[in-house]
Every structure is written in C-alpha cells, then in structure tokens.
Structure 1
C-alpha cells in the first residue's frame, strides 16, 4: 500500500515540515497532537479541556485514515507539569477506558507555553473493516 499523508491544516505542520498522521499499510502514526481547536485556532487554558480537544483532534485524524480510536494500540502523553496528569484521567478513561492501549507518560517542555498536554497515538487498523 502506498503511504498516505494526512494534514490538519495547522500552521505548525507547514512551518516545521511534518504530517498530522502517516498511514502505511494498516498502520496509522498520529503525530503529537495538542489541544488547539483547529476550527477556531484557539486553545483553552485548562489542561482537562485541552486533553478533551486533543482526543477530538486525534479521533478526527483517525477517521481521515479510515480508522478509529478502537484501533489505537499505543498512546504517549507529554505534559510540561506531571503534577496535573491525574486531573486528565477521567477524560482519558472516557476515550480509552475500554480500549486500554499500551501507554507512556512523560514530562517535557512543549513548543508553546499555552500547550499543557500533547498526545500521540499509533493505531493498527482492523482487518474487519
């Protein structure tokens, strides 16, 4: 299968030179995704709201790849402040509670101080689609 590149239209993608996601065969690699609402180009100041928006953005990206959150096998959470991660758990459970992908969280600075969380996922599309 040919490689497919997916863009969200974010200026970061054009300025830095990357894709929101890359689809290769049945694999979908979604880049680190932040809580920007791409329709309004705004970002909440609240880490929980950013977490929700990250997952909405990821869900939309996966749909463009003919995949879904059910296909996620790996997730990485990156937060500048590890102390706020627990406040995100209810949102993460809402989206991944039944899926239970392999997961890692680490604390690191992000590209913009407005960003309080970044999430990347890897998905393996089901053969049954």
Structure 2
C-alpha cells in the first residue's frame, strides 16, 4: 500500500513532490526546511529554522499515523559548517530519547538562499506494527 501526504504550503507542492510517502512499513519524508509553519516565513536564526523543521516533521508524521518516536534515520543538511553545532544542539533537544541513525552534511547551498538547514527523515509507520 502506498499513500501520499501532501500540503499546499510547502516547496514540495510547488514542484510536484509529496511531503511524505507511506510505503508499509515506512514513512519517507521529503526534506523539510525551516519555514514557520503558521506564517510560512523563514526566520534568520538557524536554531529557529531547525526547531521549525522538527515541528513540521512532527505534524507530518502525525498526519501519516506515525510520530517522532518512530524515526529511524535523519539526514540533515546545513549550508555552513558553523551551523553544525547549533543545529545538532537543537536536534538533540528533540531526538535525545529517540536516537535515530543520523547524517549531517554541509552543502554548498539549498534551493533558496534563506534556507540554512534541511532535514529529511525515515520513520516506521505505526500501523505496520503488530505488537
């Protein structure tokens, strides 16, 4: 079974991608950027961008019948090595109890210059579990 999670307020919608794809037993999230989920504005601060990423990821996973606790892999892109520690500190506050596998990459840039961090995750689909 394949199911798509889409939104009209994201870069994915503009370019024909789903925010997430549920393919039993996983939920694959497209890279999420640090836009404020309410105003769709991008804060300047990389820590706030990271917190916004996690808020959007949590909301998307909830809509996909999963949760942050189900994340098994996180891929994090930053546009400057100096952002690494503040981003990882913000990630640690959200993921310290979950401990997914993770990769941090420094990239030369993301699609828009105001984007300093992007996070992509893979999670287990809660409904796939039979405990």
Which of the five TM-score ranges fits, normalised by the shorter chain?
Answer: over 0.9
Aligned twin of 2:50: 51
Aligned twin of 2:111: 111
Assess if the C-alpha contact under 8 Å between 1:22 and 1:28 holds in 2: yes
Q: Which moved more, 1:8-17 or 1:56-65?
A: 8-17
- The secondary structure found in structure 2 opposite 1:37 is coil
Give deviations 1:7-46, integer Å, cap 9, x for gaps. 1323522321101000011210000000112321111000
Aligned twin of 1:125: 125
Give deviations 1:26-67, integer Å, cap 9, x for gaps. 210000000112321111000000000000000000000100
TM-score by length of 1: 0.92
RMSD: 1.4
Aligned twin of 2:60: 61
Assess if the C-alpha contact under 8 Å between 2:49 and 2:117 holds in 1: yes
Assess if the C-alpha contact under 8 Å between 1:79 and 1:118 holds in 2: yes
Q: What are the equivalent positions in structure 2 for 1:1-129 lying under 5 Å apart?
A: 2-108=1-107, 109-126=109-126, 127=129
The list of structure 1 runs, each at least 4 consecutive aligned residues, that deviate by more than 3 angstroms after superposition, is none
Aligned pair count? Answer: 128
Assess if the C-alpha contact under 8 Å between 1:73 and 1:102 holds in 2: yes
TM-score by length of 2: 0.91
Assess if the C-alpha contact under 8 Å between 2:32 and 2:57 holds in 1: yes
Q: Which runs of 5+ in 2 are unaligned?
A: none
